[in-house]
């Protein structure tokens, strides 16, 4: 039996034994393959995951740091970026890069914004990014890395960005505004066009975080779901982040960051030549860039095509609607806002919603939670279409077990 001992074993083991050990190691993990997990994993079905996996393995050793050595990776990145830009209504001169994930895409957009402000003579130390309170913590991580400050502004009663309140939060230190499409806690899309007007009035960089919606919302729209403009069709949008490893269904380690033009993207890149190995220019945070992530994203895009993505998006939005309707019909439970994509959250009037989460978790469901207001959050995948009825049945059972008004729990359940 191969075991972790904290040191490299003196003698290696056979792959068959190691594979058994790896399988064993995962036995304590959530069983996302049965579609009872609605956070962290995007499950489009076995065939798509097989494509993502095999494509990753084919290019697992290739390195996107060396595009001269691997023109294949250069081409895949260019193609994926071009597909993303078209999907998000970008102008012809728009550009972008693949990154390791949403957080890296956001860090890069913030860096580009900061450095472009500095190039225009602004003092950027401690400069501010004004975001809705629902924006992802990646903006705070970026600010912490880059010497900036985030100002979080409470959202409106419909859980979208409160544009008037964001206006009031802008001061002469502000360099960036952010909206989400959609935000992680509630799944609602912020009013990007209004944020665009605000950005215009104050001459600010506007970033749209479409990490969740970038490769989902365009297809939901093609299916007839009505959404406000949220992408480069809003002329003031400078940059966007859109994750391939979420609703793009690529293997993990793949996102895209997009800029309206090359001039902006130049502020994202890092160039250095003062060492004994010559010049090194990197467009993203990473040095080595995993070839597998490029290949996996490219392969899944070409496997699914627009029709495949639309079909997956419909399964997800139908399931969300079904779950939201069923939950809203349960006395004492209510959904938050009007999410239109694959992510929603719900709360309880009298019962302790975290106790409900605990009871559902005991039945094998692993979902997100939110704290303001307290609620249970679900990020749905196509695979959830098959288990929506089971979830509602288990939710009703959980409520009966808890006797309506559940006893207070010890606090917020930890799901990360
Ligand atoms: C809206 C939003 N932005 C950014 C991120 C960060 O993405 P990643 O976890 O890939 O770094 C997430 C992750 O869930 C997200 O939901």
| CATH code for the domain of 272 | 3.40.640.10
User: Which of ligand 1's atoms lies nearest the C-alpha of 246?
Assistant: 10
Distance 328 CA to ligand 1 centre (A): 27
**What local confidence, expressed as pLDDT, does residue 84 receive?**
98
- Number of domains, the chain: 1
Tell me: pLDDT of 109 over 60: yes
Across residues 406-410, what is the average pLDDT?
A: 49
Q: Are strands 149-153 and 128-132 parallel, antiparallel or unpaired?
A: parallel
Across residues 90-113, what is the average pLDDT?
A: 98
Q: 300-311: per-residue pLDDT in tens?
A: 999 999 999 999
Nearest CA to ligand 1 atom 14: 184
The answer to whether the CB of 212 is under 6 A from ligand 1 is: yes
Q: How confident is the model at residue 389 (pLDDT cuts 50, 70, 90)?
A: very high
d(CA 49, CA 379): 18
Q: 235-250: per-residue pLDDT in tens?
A: 999 999 999 999 999 9
Measured CA angle at 327 (ends 370, 341), to 5 deg: 65
Q: How confident is the model at residue 351 (pLDDT cuts 50, 70, 90)?
A: confident
The answer to whether the CB of 111 is under 6 A from ligand 1 is: no
Which mutation among 102, 186, 256 tests ligand 1's pocket best, with the greatest number of atoms within 8 A of CB? 102
Tell me: pLDDT of 409 over 70: no
Q: 146-177: per-residue pLDDT in tens?
A: 999 999 999 999 999 999 999 999 999 999 99
Across residues 15-25, what is the average pLDDT?
A: 97
Please report whether residue 342 resides in a domain: no
Please report whether residue 36 resides in a domain: no
Please report whether residue 323 resides in a domain: no
What percent of the chain has pLDDT above 70?
97
Please report whether residue 19 resides in a domain: no
User: Which of ligand 1's atoms lies nearest the C-alpha of 105?
Assistant: 11
Q: Are strands 128-132 and 174-180 parallel, antiparallel or unpaired?
A: parallel
d(CA 353, CA 61): 46
Q: Which residue has the higher pLDDT, 337 or 410?
A: 337
Nearest CA to ligand 1 atom 13: 102
Distance 407 CA to ligand 1 centre (A): 33
Tell me: pLDDT of 405 over 60: no
Burial class (CB in 10 A: 0-12, 13-18, 19+), 90: buried
Q: How many CB atoms lie within 10 A of CB 414?
A: 6
Tell me: pLDDT of 404 over 80: no
Across residues 333-358, what is the average pLDDT?
A: 96
d(CA 322, CA 3): 45
d(CA 106, CA 41): 20
**What local confidence, expressed as pLDDT, does residue 412 receive?**
72
Domain hosting 175: range is: 54-301
Please report whether residue 202 resides in a domain: yes
Tell me: pLDDT of 201 over 60: yes
Q: 246-299: per-residue pLDDT in tens?
A: 999 999 999 999 999 999 999 999 999 999 999 999 999 999 999 999 999 999
d(CA 378, CA 367): 6
The answer to whether the CB of 102 is under 6 A from ligand 1 is: yes
Q: How confident is the model at residue 408 (pLDDT cuts 50, 70, 90)?
A: very low
Closest CA to 98 of 73, 118, 122, 127: 73
Please report whether residue 218 resides in a domain: yes
Q: How confident is the model at residue 8 (pLDDT cuts 50, 70, 90)?
A: very high
**What local confidence, expressed as pLDDT, does residue 232 receive?**
98
Please report whether residue 144 resides in a domain: yes
Tell me: pLDDT of 399 over 90: yes
Model pTM greater than 0.85? Answer: yes
**What local confidence, expressed as pLDDT, does residue 410 receive?**
52
**What local confidence, expressed as pLDDT, does residue 6 receive?**
96
The answer to whether the CB of 243 is under 6 A from ligand 1 is: yes
Separation of CA 300 from chain center = 17
Mean pLDDT of the chain: 96
**What local confidence, expressed as pLDDT, does residue 1 receive?**
82
Q: How confident is the model at residue 350 (pLDDT cuts 50, 70, 90)?
A: confident
Which mutation among 100, 103, 104, 137 tests ligand 1's pocket best, with the greatest number of atoms within 8 A of CB? 103
The answer to whether the CB of 343 is under 6 A from ligand 1 is: no
Please report whether residue 330 resides in a domain: no
């Amino acid at each position: 039996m191969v075991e972790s001992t904290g040191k490299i074993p003196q003698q290696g083991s056979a792959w068959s034994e190691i594979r058994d050990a790896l399988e064993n190691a995962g036995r304590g993990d959530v069983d996302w393959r049965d579609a009872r997990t609605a956070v962290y994993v995007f499950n489009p079905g076995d065939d798509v995951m097989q494509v993502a996996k095999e494509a990753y393995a084919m290019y697992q050793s290739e390195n996107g740091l060396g595009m001269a050595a691997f023109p294949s990776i250069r081409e895949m990145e260019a193609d994926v970026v071009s597909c993303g830009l078209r999907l998000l209504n970008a102008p012809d001169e728009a550009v972008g890069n693949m990154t390791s994930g949403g957080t890296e895409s956001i860090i890069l957009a913030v860096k580009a914004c900061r450095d472009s402000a500095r190039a225009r003579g602004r003092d950027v130390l401690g400069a501010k990014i004004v975001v809705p309170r629902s924006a992802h913590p990646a903006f705070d991580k970026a600010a912490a890395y880059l010497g900036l400050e985030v100002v979080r502004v409470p959202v409106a009663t419909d859980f979208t960005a409160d544009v008037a309140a964001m206006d009031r939060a802008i001061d002469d230190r502000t360099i960036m505004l952010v909206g989400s499409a959609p935000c992680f806690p509630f799944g609602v899309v912020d009013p990007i066009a209004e944020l665009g007007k605000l950005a215009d009035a104050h001459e600010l960089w506007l970033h749209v975080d479409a990490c969740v919606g970038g490769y989902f919302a365009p297809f939901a729209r093609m299916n007839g779901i009505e959404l406000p403009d949220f992408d480069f069709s809003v002329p003031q949008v400078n940059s966007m982040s859109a994750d391939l490893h979420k609703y793009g269904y690529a293997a993990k380690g793949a996102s895209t960051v997009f800029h309206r033009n090359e001039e902006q993207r130049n502020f994202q890149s890092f160039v250095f030549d003062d060492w004994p190995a010559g010049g090194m220019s990197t467009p993203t945070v990473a040095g080595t860039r995993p070839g597998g992530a490029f290949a996996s994203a490219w392969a899944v895009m070409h496997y699914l095509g627009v029709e495949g993505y639309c079909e997956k998006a419909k399964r997800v939005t139908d399931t969300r609607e079904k779950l939201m309707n069923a939950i809203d019909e349960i006395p004492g439970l209510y959904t938050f806002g009007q999410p239109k994509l694959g992510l929603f959250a719900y709360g309880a009037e009298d019962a302790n919603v975290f106790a409900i989460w605990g009871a559902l978790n005991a039945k094998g469901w692993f979902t997100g939670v939110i704290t303001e207001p307290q609620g249970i959050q679900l990020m749905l995948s196509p695979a959830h279409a098959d288990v929506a009825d089971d979830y509602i049945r288990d939710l009703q059972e959980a409520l009966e077990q808890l006797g309506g008004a559940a006893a207070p729990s010890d606090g917020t359940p930890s799901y990360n």
